[in-house]
Structure 1
Amino acid sequence: MTISTDSSIDTTMDATTEWQAANTARSALYRWFADIFARELTTTTLEQWQQNQVYESIHEAFVSLDLEEQSNRVKAAISDLNKLPKQDRALELAADFAQIFLLSGDDSAPPYASYYLSEDKHLYGEPVKQMRQFLKSQQLSLNPEFREPDDHVSVYFMVMSLWINSSNNSGSDMLTLAQEQVEFLDSALLNWLPKFNERCQRIRVQTDLYPALVALAEQFVIADREALSTLVS
């Protein structure tokens, strides 16, 4: 029996292993953002972030992506919550969540692609149809308990998480997948996410947590897109 000494085999295996490991981390971060923007932070989650330093491990992931500045802003916002009475923190964040994401008009930042991509700012526009078609094409399904339109920002983050997991399990070609995800991020998310972030930064709220998280989310998507593009090229 002849044992191959072709180093290209080991190189390919190493690249595949690294790609799968990176995808595991990418999927987790996209899922984390999806959960954050889907609903108000609970008192339990908030206490875990503050007391058990749960965010510290997440922070390290963002530092590795050169997003330390944006993540430090989130850390500072979490720390600043200690200035509020403990019993009021979750209520203040719920009020901020409603002010930014749930109200209508110029004093909020609706988390829907249709709002930013249509001239009349109407909801349930073309992005909803496009997302439904994409979900069908990728055989992906969302939690039926999530009642928001399909162009809600959380849906885009969840789609990326599910798509990444699905591709890891199916063994899809990494270059093809990376190119497809670059195109998706460009055409479905980055064409409106910066406008959404800009609007969030202008909303007057009691705490900086949600504006900081939106700013971090935008930069995370940009960094992920750049990493995928580098891999393809």
Structure 2
Amino acid sequence: MTTSTDTSTDTIEQWQAANSARSALYRWFADVFARELTSATLDDWQNNQGFTSIHDVFVSLDLEPYSARLKAAIGDLEQIPKPYRALELAADFAQVFLLSGDDSAPPYASYYLSADKQLYGEPTQQMQQFLSSHQLKLHADFREPDDHISVYFMVMSLWIDSSMAQDTDMSDVAQQQSEFLDKALLSWLPKFSERCQNIRVKTDVYPALVALVEQFVLADRDALDF
């Protein structure tokens, strides 16, 4: 017979284990969207099966079709001579994220939530206030506006780590994080993802990444309702 205490202990242990994985995945997404993929990262993903272990995690989260698409896109890079793979991906990165809004998918919340599509809008200020109120600090070398998509992922990772370190009430944290995802990220992430799928690029790596992260955030949001 399982007592309520045993059940509570099991739930807490499962929550802690899930949080470790959640934090790592949010940090991984923050890194890959923050800057162009390097040759070293590509080598790790392709030669050392670095992406295989991550793919297995996504499969366990029932995200296999989306992760398989990214895995296939990484495999397709073999068709490009190795010295040029990072350059091709850098060109795709610029095409998807760095060109003018009409020709790309700017990775900034302000573009999708502000009527004039101007950067440094209200979402930037809201994120600045959020970081300050939760005593969260981003890496000083990251010089993008605070409503860059990588900031949202890094905030989630730091927030998850902080909640585990402080041993805060898991139900309260889960509710707060679900509200954050709803209001701060899912209010524009689907629009961003849709734009990314319609941009012509050399490889499918970045469109696949965006589709995967959208589904991951949606799944994570649903999992917070317990």
Measured on the aligned residues, the alpha-carbon RMSD in Å equals 1.1
> SS where residue 13 of structure 1 aligns?
helix
3-state SS of paired residue (1:168) = helix
Higher mean C-alpha displacement, 11-20 vs 25-34: 11-20
Q: Deviations over 1:56-105 (max 9, x none)?
A: 11011101111000000000000000001111100000000011111113
Q: Residue 222 of structure 1 aligns to which amino acid in structure 2?
A: L
- Quick one: which amino acid aligns to residue 20 of structure 1? Q
* Further displaced range: 19-28 or 7-16: 7-16
Match among 61, 82, 100 for residue 86 of structure 1: 82
TM-score, scaled relative to structure 1: 0.95
- Could you give the per-residue CA deviations for residues 146-165 of structure 1, whole angstroms, max 9, x where no partner exists? 00000000000000000000
What is the aligned counterpart of 1:219 among 210, 215, 220? 215
Per-residue CA deviation, residues 165-210 of structure 1 (Å, 9 max, x unaligned), is: 0001111111111100110000000000000000001111100000
Q: Which of 130, 137, 151 is 1:134 aligned to?
A: 130
Structure 1 residue runs of 5 or longer lacking an equivalent are: none
1:70 is matched with which residue? 66
Aligned partner of residue 94 in structure 2, secondary structure: helix
CA distance in 1, matches of 2:149, 2:141: 16
Match of 2:10 in 1: 14
Cα distance in structure 2, aligned partners of 1:11 and 1:112: 42
Which amino acid in the other structure matches residue 68 of structure 1?
E
User: Which of these two proteins has the greater Rg computed from alpha carbons?
Assistant: 1
**SS at 1:63's partner residue?**
helix
Matches within 5 A, 1:151-170: 151-170=147-166
Q: What is the CA-CA distance between 1:24 and the residue it aligns to?
A: 0.1
Q: 1:181 aligns with which of 171, 177, 185?
A: 177
Task: Map 1:199-210 onto structure 2 (within 5 A).
Answer: 199-210=195-206
> Could you tell me which residue of structure 2 aligns to residue 50 of structure 1?
46
**Cα deviation 1:26-61 (Å, max 9, x = unaligned):** 000000000000000000000110011111110111
Q: Does 1:125 align with 2:121?
A: yes
Count of paired positions: 226
Percent sequence identity is 70
Following the alignment from structure 1 to structure 2, what is the Cα–Cα distance between the partners of residues 194 and 6? 42
Give the alignment partner of residue 96 of structure 2, picking from 96, 100, 104.
100
Task: Give the superposition deviation at 1:6.
Answer: 8.4
TM-score where L is the length of structure 2: 0.98
